[in-house]
Amino acid sequence: MGLAADLFVLLYPDHFKVEQIIRSSSFWEKTSEKRRSVLKSCEQRCVGTVVGVVVDAIAQGDLQLPDRVAAEDLVFGLWSQTYGAYSIITTSDSLQELGIGDPFVALRNNINAMLDGFGWQPLSSHHDYDAVIQRIKNEVFSDECKAISV
């Protein structure tokens, strides 16, 4: 899912920027209730899909969340981390100068660290997730990756 989100930002940066703009209060307040409802529905489906993955991980025994953390809370952490990173990636032209060679890899490493902190198995130190990403690039998103030379 993370790779799909990365590819969306890379392939459709204008769409991502438009999403940021329409969420600003000056635009959001001027949209019709019907449009807001459509966006909220899409957002709920996306978040629901990720929550479903977390719930499945719990059911499979790969993840045990602390009592004070709901699946939705974990998903909010992932969402805010990725959305914030994408916002910086699409608005800053100085990341290289700041020592951030590949912000998408840095984001993935930070997410892995967060999920490792929650104990989601297998831990990134025990599994080659880079190989998994490469396999997904080859088998699922080969056309998209070729389009952006990733």
List pLDDT tens digits, range 40-84. 999 999 999 999 999 999 999 999 999 999 999 999 999 999 999
Domains in the chain: boundaries: 2-148
Taken in order 112, 114, 116, 118, the sign of the CA dihedral is negative
List pLDDT tens digits, range 15-37. 999 989 988 999 999 999 999 99
d(CA 74, CA 40): 19
Please give the average per-residue pLDDT across 116-129, as a whole number.
Answer: 97
Q: Where does residue 55 rank: exposed (0-12), middle (13-18), buried (19+ CB within 10 A)?
A: middle
